[in-house]
Amino acid sequence: MMGTDMKIDKKKATAPLRWQRRLLALGVLAGTLGAQTAAAADDWLTKDWEVSGYLREYLSWNLENPTLIGPDGQQRDDYRYSLSMARTVGKLDLYRDFGNWRMKITGRVSRESPTSYGKDLQEVMDEWAATGGASGSSVNLRDDVYDDEELREFWIQGDVTDTTNLKIGRQQVVWGETDFFQLLDVVHGYDFRWRSFLEPENEELRKPLNMVNITQRFDQLDASLQAIYIPGQLNDHEDRGNSYDVEGGRWANNPNKGITFASAPFGANVRYNYDHPGADMDDDSYGLRWNGLLGDWGYSLGWFHGPNPNPVVNPNPATNPGQPQLQTGPYEGVYQGGATEAGEFIYPYIDVFGVTANNYFAGPDLVFSTELAYIPNAPYNVGIESIAEGPGCGFFPGFCGIREKNLFRSMFRIDKQLDLQSYLGTSRPSFFTVQLFNNWITNFDKEEQLVNLAGFGGATKEFSSIATAVLATNYANDQINPSLAVGSDLTYGGGFVIPAVELAYGDHVRVRFEADVFFHRTDQEKPLQGFNDTNLFGYFSGNDQLLARLTYQF
């Protein structure tokens, strides 16, 4: 318990430091703003701020009974058709144009109302923690996960020269050609804990960062070069990398609802470590992106150095006896978590090299896009079996260590306007897009037993692919807008179907209804046992739901 207590104290001790870093970042930004606007005091007094934003209410209901099993091994209730989310969000945007310089400030506040299903999740979580979980590591879902106040944007942007643009402050930078899965869009992490990957506007899930963003135009080449610099010490650790529901909430991977990884019982708990030498969130990140035109083709070349988008588990060799034989790279022999913990979540720093291209072809009347990314030394957890299930080496599958593999990722997409007025009675042509995502581990070795996600026994294959398609239609002059999104895991099985309709009332009111339905080949039925070859869509088993979203935008 000594190692655990030391880790908790360290986390508490760093909280004031994070606020100091935020204040320092805001001080730097304010100083820059003051220097630039001192000479434009008249503009400040005579030009108005543009105010916009929204008020939004989310309601979701379970369409099937999610697995919620307590320490007694019994399913708690039948939660089919139970209200799973009642979330209220307010967002305010302030924008001002000073002529050569512009400024934007965005804040967002989110609050969740209690539901009976949410109360049962919390109750089961407390029961699991009481059966041997680490002391002081319990989570209150509403206070610690769902409710938040965020400064989403706070930047100033302007032209330093006729061809050089500077944007400094808290912002979002979007790279790549796709909205579904991250290939080159790795500058920011995403918060998938309250809504998973389903939110149609992914900027609502993306985590903003304090950074310096410079773009140099080369007009004679029809190109530009963008350079970004992200100071690690001026950003909160939690703002880096993707955040998944490891707190046991409504989007925890099946069957882990009600179980917090940080307070799992029997010494099997796993916590985040943001200070690991190979994954230190205080380290800086940076990247370059060349964007241009070559004939009819738009293209870009990019490189980014920063945290791996997804966390991996660095196992504790004291509780995972096979770990030292399989660990490779900068993680070998470096474990900093509690002595009795099963491991620690870390975000190793990686390099991502990528190319994008797009073109419009008049003959078939379509737009073709592609995105290619190469990631040398991408981290994977290893170990198909756990000690409990066979001759494994750890508490759970994947807890045998980390292997670094060379990963090549690709995306190919076709966008096309379909004239369906005579078939569906739409008011204008419909938008259709289809995408194919591929992963290729170029130095694959089956004997290494790579897993797709630590804690699940689904073995990673050398080649894997996912196909997605979206059809968006419009009726009544865009007042009624149905859509259908589908996806299929061509390698591991399963997929999703998401029918939706968005209704527009005037300039201010938007109502969206959506059903999220998942299919899977294999899923895991009981927490902390019965490990099998569950993969991506098996994680979403029991999460079929109906969503209603009401927005008043101003």
Phi, psi of 218 (to 5 degrees): -125, 85
Phi, psi of 204 (to 5 degrees): -75, -25
- Indicate the pairing of strand 50-62 with strand 545-553: antiparallel
pLDDT of amino acid 355: 97
pLDDT digits (tens, 9 = 90+) for 217-248: 999 999 999 999 999 999 999 999 999 999 89
pLDDT digits (tens, 9 = 90+) for 413-471: 999 999 999 999 999 999 999 999 999 999 999 988 999 999 899 999 999 999 999 99
Domain 2-34+50-553 is of which CATH architecture? Beta Barrel (2.40)
Average pLDDT (473-489) is: 97
Question: Given a cut of 70, is residue 325 above it in pLDDT?
Answer: no
pTM, 2 dp? 0.88
C-alpha span between 309 and 428 (Å, rounded): 39
Question: Given a cut of 80, is residue 198 above it in pLDDT?
Answer: yes
pLDDT digits (tens, 9 = 90+) for 257-284: 998 887 776 667 888 999 998 899 999 9
pLDDT digits (tens, 9 = 90+) for 26-41: 444 444 445 455 445 5
Instruction: Give the tokens for residue 231.
Output: 């100071």
C-alpha span between 353 and 301 (Å, rounded): 8
Per-residue pLDDT band at 330 (split at 50, 70, 90): low
C-alpha span between 49 and 167 (Å, rounded): 19
pLDDT of amino acid 19: 45
pLDDT of amino acid 146: 96
Question: Given a cut of 90, is residue 208 above it in pLDDT?
Answer: yes
Higher model confidence: residue 64 or residue 17?
A: 64
- Indicate the pairing of strand 343-346 with strand 270-272: parallel
Domains in the chain: boundaries: 2-34+50-553
Q: What does the mean pLDDT of the chain come to?
A: 88
Nearest to 307 by CA among 333, 338, 273: 273
Amino acid letter at 516? Answer: D
Per-residue pLDDT band at 136 (split at 50, 70, 90): low
Which residue is associated with the tokens 């940080």? 262
Please, which residues have CB within 8 angstroms of residue 162's CB and are 6 or more apart in sequence? none
pLDDT digits (tens, 9 = 90+) for 387-399: 767 667 777 889 8
Distance set, CA 346 to CA 315, 338, 349 (Å):
10, 14, 9
